[in-house]
């Protein structure tokens, strides 16, 4: 079994949503459930040893557009969120992450040493991530508080606009060059993340925002859960020029399991073969090198291939890659090694 450290999941959103209906998030994760994609038993069964767990404030007004007769679609961007409700929800999700840690259901990791120790102990190694920074004000005071709580990675925007920048829509086919990039507040956020040692995630941001971050950050460029635009031209995927920039900084692309970002027709359909995933990984390895490719499943946040199903099926992708000719050393890099290197770099640590 190749243990996997995964670049993106939305399990905190699922647990928070069920808690609003009276559920117990600690019991749901620790004991297991038939809901969603990730809990401790299924993670252990599938060799999912840890990952970046997103604090994501949902957009209640988002309705995904149906494809037209050509299979094309454009989902209008969700409206910007109000800051105070966003802060409340984000704080509640962070509290769930801390309660899971206190209960021993997972280990909330702030350093590379924490991750390695959790994996050695057989405990899910969770890194707190923020997907869209609506909970953070322009003074960045909340960023300091979330950092103290364990936040070690963030994406300035989700697929909506906020005070820091602009997100791309869910659309096919479409370029990621859809709107402006960072605002002045966004540039300040990037600089503060560099100072604190918080990984900056380029998933969901416009192409102009990508280049704004590239010219500002002192970190390797990272897109935690994005795929190849040349193969699947959804706005969320990365162009060859963006991939080349990631390679030049020895950054990372985490391959997204979302079928709409894997299929050549851009459809959200669980009946998607693992060969589509291998196709994107092969392209990325050829373009950026084996050291710059990893996994970013989007578990609990997307329609994934039925053949994987949930975290328990994660080794099916590893087996498909093995059949495609990837050896043990390359599989270790794809499954976990490249993510650990990137986190160590962003956090100012040695990856030993």
Instruction: Confirm if 243 and 170 have CB atoms less than 8 A apart.
Output: no
Strands 222-223 and 252-255: parallel
The token pair at 244 is 């080349």
252 phi/psi in degrees, rounded to 5 = -155, 145
pLDDT of residue 279: 98
Q: With bands split at pLDDT 50, 70 and 90, how would you rate the model's confidence at 312?
A: very high
pLDDT of residue 100: 98
* For residue 49, pLDDT beyond 70: yes
* For residue 352, pLDDT beyond 60: no
pTM: 0.97
Q: With bands split at pLDDT 50, 70 and 90, how would you rate the model's confidence at 61?
A: confident
pLDDT of residue 94: 98
255 phi/psi in degrees, rounded to 5 = -70, 125
pLDDT of residue 350: 77
Give the C-alpha separation, 134 to 180, whole Å: 18
The maximal CA–CA distance of the chain, rounded, in angstroms, is 53
pLDDT tens, position by position, 142-189: 999 999 999 999 999 999 999 999 999 999 999 999 999 999 999 999
* For residue 229, pLDDT beyond 60: yes
Instruction: Confirm if 53 and 127 have CB atoms less than 8 A apart.
Output: yes
Q: With bands split at pLDDT 50, 70 and 90, how would you rate the model's confidence at 351?
A: low
pLDDT of residue 112: 97
* For residue 74, pLDDT beyond 60: yes
SS3 6: strand
Exposed, middle or buried by CB within 10 Å (0-12, 13-18, 19+), for 328? exposed
* For residue 91, pLDDT beyond 80: yes
Percent of the chain with pLDDT over 90: 98
Mean pLDDT of the chain: 97
pLDDT of residue 63: 86
pLDDT of residue 60: 82
């Amino acid at each position: 079994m190749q243990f996997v450290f995964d670049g993106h999941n939305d399990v905190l959103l699922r647990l928070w949503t069920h808690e609003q209906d009276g559920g117990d998030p600690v019991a749901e994760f620790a004991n297991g459930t038939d809901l969603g994609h990730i809990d401790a038993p299924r993670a252990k069964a599938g060799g999912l040893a840890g990952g970046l767990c997103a604090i994501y404030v949902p957009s209640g007004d988002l309705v995904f557009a149906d494809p037209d007769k050509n299979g094309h679609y454009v989902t209008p961007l969700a409206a910007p969120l109000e800051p105070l409700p966003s802060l409340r929800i984000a704080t509640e999700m962070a509290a769930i992450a801390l309660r899971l840690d206190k209960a021993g259901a997972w280990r909330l990791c702030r350093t590379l040493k924490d991750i390695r120790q959790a994996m050695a102990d057989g405990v899910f190694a969770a890194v707190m991530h923020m997907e869209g920074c609506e909970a953070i004000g322009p003074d960045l005071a909340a960023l300091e508080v979330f950092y103290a709580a364990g936040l070690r990675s963030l994406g300035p925007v989700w697929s909506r606009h906020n005070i820091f920048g602009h997100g791309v829509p869910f659309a096919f086919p479409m370029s990621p060059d859809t709107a402006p990039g960072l605002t002045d507040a966004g540039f300040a956020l990037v600089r503060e993340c560099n100072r604190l040692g918080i990984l900056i995630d380029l998933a969901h941001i416009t192409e102009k925002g990508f280049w704004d971050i590239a010219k500002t950050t002192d970190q390797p460029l990272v897109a935690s859960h994005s795929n190849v635009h040349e193969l699947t031209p959804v706005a969320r995927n990365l162009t060859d020029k963006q991939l080349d920039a990631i390679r030049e900084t020895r950054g990372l692309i985490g391959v997204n399991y979302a079928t709409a970002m894997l299929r050549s027709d851009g459809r959200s359909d669980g009946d998607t073969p693992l060969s589509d995933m291998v196709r994107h990984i092969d392209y990325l390895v050829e373009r950026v090198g084996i050291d710059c490719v990893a996994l970013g499943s989007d578990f609990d946040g997307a329609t994934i291939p039925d053949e994987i199903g949930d975290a328990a099926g994660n080794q099916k992708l590893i087996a498909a890659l093995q059949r495609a000719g990837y050896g043990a050393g390359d599989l270790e890099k794809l499954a976990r090694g490249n993510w650990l290197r990137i986190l160590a770099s962003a956090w100012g640590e040695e990856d030993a």
